[in-house]
Amino acid sequence: MTNKDLASLIYPDVTKTIEDYERIYPQRQLKEGAIVTRFAPSPTGFVHLGSLRTSFIAKKVAEDTCGIFYLRIEDTDEKRSIENSVQGIIDDLTNFNINIDEGVTSQIEEKGIYGPYTQTKRQEIYDTFAYYLIENDFAYPCFCTEEELENIRKRQEVRKDRIGYYGDYAKYRNISNDEKASLIKKNIPYVIRLKSHGDFEKKVSFIDAVRGKIEFPENDMDTILIKSDKIPVYHFAHVVDDHLMRTTHIIRGEEWISSTPVHIELFNAFNFPIPIFCHLGLIMKIDENGIRRKLSKRKDPEAAVSFYHKEGYPVEALKLYLMTISNSNFEIWMENNPNKSINDFKFDFKKISESGTLFDINKLINISKVYISKLSANTLYDDILLYNKEYDKDFYELLKNNKEYTISLLNIERNIPRPRKDISCYKDFKKELGFMYDELFLSHDFLLKDFYSYEILEDYVKNYYNIEDDKDLWFSKIKELGIKYNFCTDNKAYKEDPSLYKGNISSLCELIRVAFTSRTNTPDLYEILKLLNIDTINKRLQMFKEYMNK
């Protein structure tokens, strides 16, 4: 029995050849240097920050070179697949403005001529390519049971041999095709394994776009390519799909480095050109025990991309953060090009850090604060509105009904050379400035200090405050009031002997601030009072009185 007979026995329905598929999925007609990349997640839940970074980089390099970025769903493991999670992945990408050129676009739809882009829909293709491998002596059926494999492993442990299915340990590698055929006809379950032609004593090397040359012993493991249910494993599907979809750069996590020799052996077996591999370092975190480990979707809320959406970090800010940890020259480039966007930056594989990066929320917060501080009040209003529409309906209504007021509020200390940086995410807005809305200013909640006095405050509102005053006049009146009640207007004098005074001007301002905002720190007090309006001020004055008398 020939290899071809065996292949036909296993795959009786295969009618096409791999050459047919070469014609069905022709070379892409793209301009010189165009890079084709993909994001190929398993539908096991939502997108991990590390995956977001991978897809972001993949998208970026495709865009930079007028190439293609597509989404492929790797759902070959039924056990791990979670229903409807494809939509979750698409939503996460959409939320972060990572738009795909082709591939899966919804739970049921896709676009592009290199599809299907969902692996479980590509069975016919995989069958054909597996047929080819068997026919050409690169693969064979293996009938090992779990127990047999376990025994092999135990023997290898005793002999201190390398663990795995290879060489003389590969029990079914060299039995005749007739024997294989008869086992198949007896309905003995089997998998298809690679028939490795590699030699562990020899070296293969490949150029990794991030790390440069990486050298390995050749692969000599007869790894499983096709599971007993005829569904391929990653190694096989990756090689077939990425070739047929004409991917030029395989951008993936560094956990794949070790299996790259298997992939190279497969590319060679099919006579496919070998794409460029780009293995990215992982995003890490220091856990409670001080140990550096991969950011985990289960244990770390910040691992899930949806977390950033819920907190209200601007998409752009997260992108800026991902870019600063991905390309080491990005931050300096930004500094030198303050008016350019991330799209103008040319991504460079050589500037990717080789080691795993510790996730740094402080850096993200800072980037986000700077980003938000540069937004116009109108844009920020829209963003905050949109955020609350999804996460805080009541506040959303409040913001919607007070548009002009909110924009004025957001404008305080904004359109100036050194704008205020107190908001790091949209969620912060309510926390920081909610007191500006009567609906949220329900009660005073602060510790009373000796110099807090209703009388002074009443005097201030009745006799010193005028909404028409400009800022200088406003402040000189506060000073006047201060002198009347023995608040020191000279900071140096006050520092010399505080006991002579009730407090200094800061103290007086604190009293006013606390009474009308219930906070000890707010944006510019003059602007705040002006915006609050005299009615609100009087209302809060009464509330303050009640609070003092409690």
Q: Residues near 176 by Cβ (< 8 Å), separated by ≥ 6?
A: 1
Residues 482-501 interacting with RNA (rule: CB under 7 A): 491
DSSP 139-159: EEEE---HHHHHHHHHHHHHH
Would you state the structure tokens that stand for residue 183, as one six-digit string? 């086992």
Identify residue 128 by its one-letter amino acid code: T
Does 40 sit near RNA (CB under 7 A)?
Answer: yes
Nearer to RNA, 141 or 312 (CB): 141
Does 196 sit near RNA (CB under 7 A)?
Answer: no
User: Of 328, 330, 324, which Cα lies nearest the Cα of 344?
Assistant: 330
String marking each residue 414-433 x if it binds RNA according to CB under 7 A: ----xxxxx-----------
- Give the C-alpha separation, 34 to 46, whole Å: 30
Q: Residues near 533 by Cβ (< 8 Å), separated by ≥ 6?
A: 467
Does 216 sit near RNA (CB under 7 A)?
Answer: yes
Stretch that binds RNA, among 96-104, 122-130, 158-166, 338-346 (CB under 7 A): 158-166
Single out the residue of 94, 466, 521, 542 in contact with RNA (rule: CB under 7 A). Answer: 521
Residues 397-416 interacting with RNA (rule: CB under 7 A): 413
DSSP 293-304: EE--TTT-GGGB
Q: How far is the CB of 214 from RNA (least distance, A)?
A: 5
Would you state the structure tokens that stand for residue 482, as one six-digit string? 């201060």
Single out the residue of 177, 248, 324, 406 in contact with RNA (rule: CB under 7 A). Answer: 324
Single out the residue of 55, 196, 406, 522 in contact with RNA (rule: CB under 7 A). Answer: 522
Does 141 sit near RNA (CB under 7 A)?
Answer: no
Q: How far is the CB of 40 from RNA (least distance, A)?
A: 6
Residues 271-290 interacting with RNA (rule: CB under 7 A): 281-282
Does 1 sit near RNA (CB under 7 A)?
Answer: no
Q: Which element (helix H / strand E) includes 208?
A: strand 203-208
Helical residues (DSSP H) of 167-254, grouped into ranges: 177-185, 234-244
Q: How far is the CB of 256 from RNA (least distance, A)?
A: 7
Q: Which element (helix H / strand E) includes 102?
A: strand 102-104
Nearer to RNA, 32 or 83 (CB): 83
Would you state the structure tokens that stand for residue 201, as one six-digit string? 């004593």
Does 346 sit near RNA (CB under 7 A)?
Answer: no
Single out the residue of 147, 215, 468, 535 in contact with RNA (rule: CB under 7 A). Answer: 215
Single out the residue of 20, 66, 80, 498 in contact with RNA (rule: CB under 7 A). Answer: 80
Residues 166-195 interacting with RNA (rule: CB under 7 A): 189-191
Q: Residues near 213 by Cβ (< 8 Å), separated by ≥ 6?
A: 205, 206, 207
Nearer to RNA, 175 or 509 (CB): 509
Does 392 sit near RNA (CB under 7 A)?
Answer: no
Would you state the structure tokens that stand for residue 168, as one six-digit string? 């003389």
Single out the residue of 15, 99, 145, 378 in contact with RNA (rule: CB under 7 A). Answer: 145
- Rounded to the nearest 5°, which phi and psi values hold at 112? 115, 155
